[in-house]
A and B are shown apart, each in its own frame.
Chain A
Amino acid sequence: MLNLDFAFLSPTVLSSYVLKGFLFSVQLTVFAMLGGIALGTLLALMRLSSKPWLVMPAAAYVNTMRSIPLVMVILWFFLLIPLITGRPLGAETSAMITFTLFEAAYYSEIMRAGIQSIPKGQVAAGYALGMTYGQTMREVVLPQAFRNMLPVLLTQTIILFQDTSLVYAIGAYDLLKGFEVAGKNFNRPVETYLVAAAVYFIICFSLSMLVKQLQRRIAIIR
């Protein structure tokens, strides 16, 4: 019954099938993280402003993104972006755009909670020193807020890394796909899925251990 054979997964096979997918998964994660945090900060600031015409579109965007399954969002963008730009996009580029816009909604919620956790007196103190809104945010509020929410942002990034496997829906070549193609070519799907699961587990588990350590080190002592 147990007839597993992992021998075919030589370094050559790994580097020719899996490495390309792994690099894409990492690239997608990093790109969507940086873009998502940038856009997410903007969305969070919009939602926290006092002007309804800034609050409403940001809230609508975040709530819509958060109530649609990621797979559907991936499919939506894969269908819609070519209609808007007029030319077909590769699955990889489409995935980059989709994940950035999708993750921005989740990052913005984290940022909003982080910013709201800063005492009001900090903002008042900034204004009292004659700082503008932009200066108060940049120099006083955001540095503290980032420190508070860094662990949560990183945890969300680990989830993002796991979610990149969903580009399966549009056939982009990511880490999982790399293992799958190798499994099909050598007719060893069972072994490759097991190894894929182990690789994802090792990456995500060690990253989450690191986040836990970081959390302990950077906690603000009050």
Chain B
Amino acid sequence: MANWDWQVFCKNTIDGEVVSSCFGSGGDITYLDWMLSAWGWTVSVSLLSLAVALVFGSLMGILRTTPSRSLVFLGNAWTELFRNIPLLVQIMLWYHVLPALIPALKDVPSFLLVVAALGLFTSARISEQVRAGIQSLPRGQRMAAQAIGFTLPQTYRYVLLPMAFRIIIPPLTSESMNIVKNSSVAFAVSISELTLFALQAQEETSRGIEIYLGVTALYFITAFAINRVLHFIEQRVQVPGLIAAGGK
């Protein structure tokens, strides 16, 4: 197979000359600089989308477990809508369609539109997990809360959610890692994240294997880091006495 040429990362992106320090100076950048900045975009898109997804996913998941039929319907409709359209199509909708229909969105940077698309797409999956987490609690918990006179919001705030959220940390972990992977779809609307870097740098340098290996490794590291952080949180907040969460 082709010989390795890892120096490709040290090349100046403009004239293709190898820079000895591997980092560009005075406004010039190397492919390594470019890849690291692309990594920054991937991480930013992922973390912001995760925040959006957690907020909307939790809200919709909670609505789906309330006694009100219209709130349940709203939560169900939200989940089905964002779950049944491919992420790439949703990104296209946010990027090409919504700004054409709503002029106010024309000035919003495309980065934020992608965050909205990825965040709401993932919120549907998180809403499923939040709903499942709440429904997995014994019915008696909700009844006990109401029996001692808690209002509905108090029931959720003090009784149901503290348990439900801790139970669903494992599926939330895999969803958070999915967000990093799914952020790669943002290349389609020219967000300069890792996948777009891979596509463009491969074209410019014809060193696809080295570039792709570098990018794949960064995706790997990012997802793994998120996995470790959430694993740490999981252990800190585990419910005493449950088999789950690693306590034997």
Known: A68-B219, A75-B212, A201-B81. A1 touches B92 (CB 8 A): no
A67 vs B178: C-alpha distance in the bound complex, in angstroms? 9
Interface string of A63-92 (1 = CB under 8 A from B): 000011111100110011001000000000
A196 vs B97: C-alpha distance in the bound complex, in angstroms? 12
Known: A1-B101, A71-B187, A189-B96. A166 touches B219 (CB 8 A): no
A169 vs B184: C-alpha distance in the bound complex, in angstroms? 10
Q: Which residues of A contact B223 (CB under 8 A)?
A: 67
- B215 contacts A by Cβ under 8 Å: yes
A72 touches B184 (CB 8 A): yes
- B199 contacts A by Cβ under 8 Å: yes
Among A169, A193, A201, the residue within 8 A (CB) of B92 is A193
Known: A68-B219, A69-B195. A2 touches B101 (CB 8 A): yes
B216 touches A68 (CB 8 A): yes
Q: Name the interface size band of chain B.
A: 35 or more
With both chains docked as a complex, state the minimum distance between the C-beta of B135 and any C-beta of chain A, in angstroms: 16
B92 touches A72 (CB 8 A): no
Among B89, B100, B188, B198, the residue within 8 A (CB) of A200 is B89
- A168 contacts B by Cβ under 8 Å: yes
Among A1, A70, A168, A196, the residue within 8 A (CB) of B181 is A70
A69 touches B182 (CB 8 A): yes
Choose among A68, A71, A76, A193 the residue with the greatest number of B CB atoms under 10 Å from its CB.
A71
**Which residues of B203-221 are within 8 A (CB) of A?**
208-209, 212, 215-216, 219-220
A69 touches B84 (CB 8 A): no
- A165 contacts B by Cβ under 8 Å: yes
Interface string of B92-109 (1 = CB under 8 A from A): 110011001101000000
Q: Which residues of B contact A208 (CB under 8 A)?
A: 80, 83-84
A200 touches B86 (CB 8 A): yes
Interface string of A150-166 (1 = CB under 8 A from B): 00000000000011011
With both chains docked as a complex, state the minimum distance between the C-beta of A197 and any C-beta of chain B, in angstroms: 5
- B47 contacts A by Cβ under 8 Å: no
**Which residues of A152-195 are within 8 A (CB) of B?**
162-163, 165-166, 168-169, 176, 189-190, 193-194
**Which residues of B150-172 are within 8 A (CB) of A?**
none
Among B86, B97, B212, the residue within 8 A (CB) of A194 is B97
A168 vs B215: C-alpha distance in the bound complex, in angstroms? 19
Among A70, A71, A79, A176, the residue within 8 A (CB) of B202 is A79
B195 touches A190 (CB 8 A): no
Q: Which residues of A contact B198 (CB under 8 A)?
A: 72, 75
- B242 contacts A by Cβ under 8 Å: no
With both chains docked as a complex, state the minimum distance between the C-beta of A139 and any C-beta of chain B, in angstroms: 34
A-B CB contacts (within 8 Å), total count: 102
With both chains docked as a complex, state the minimum distance between the C-beta of A91 and any C-beta of chain B, in angstroms: 14
Q: Which residues of B contact A70 (CB under 8 A)?
A: 181, 184
The secondary-structure label for the interface of chain A is helix
Q: Which residues of A contact B12 (CB under 8 A)?
A: none
A197 touches B85 (CB 8 A): yes
- A42 contacts B by Cβ under 8 Å: no
B93 touches A193 (CB 8 A): yes
Known: A83-B1, A83-B2, A204-B85. A71 touches B185 (CB 8 A): yes
Q: Which residues of B contact A189 (CB under 8 A)?
A: 96-97
A168 vs B187: C-alpha distance in the bound complex, in angstroms? 10
- B88 contacts A by Cβ under 8 Å: yes
A204 vs B81: C-alpha distance in the bound complex, in angstroms? 10
- A6 contacts B by Cβ under 8 Å: no
A176 touches B86 (CB 8 A): yes
- A205 contacts B by Cβ under 8 Å: yes
A201 touches B85 (CB 8 A): yes
Nearest to B99 among chain A residues (CB) is A190
Q: Which residues of B contact A163 (CB under 8 A)?
A: 86
Choose among A69, A70, A162, A204 the residue with the greatest number of B CB atoms under 10 Å from its CB.
A69
- B30 contacts A by Cβ under 8 Å: no
Q: Which residues of A contact B80 (CB under 8 A)?
A: 205, 208
11 chain-A/chain-B pairs, Cβ below 8 angstroms: A1-B103, A2-B101, A67-B219, A69-B219, A70-B181, A71-B184, A72-B195, A72-B216, A80-B209, A162-B85, A208-B80
Other A-B pairs beyond A2-B101, A67-B219, A69-B182, 7, CB < 8 Å: A68-B216, A79-B208, A162-B87, A168-B188, A169-B195, A176-B89, A194-B97
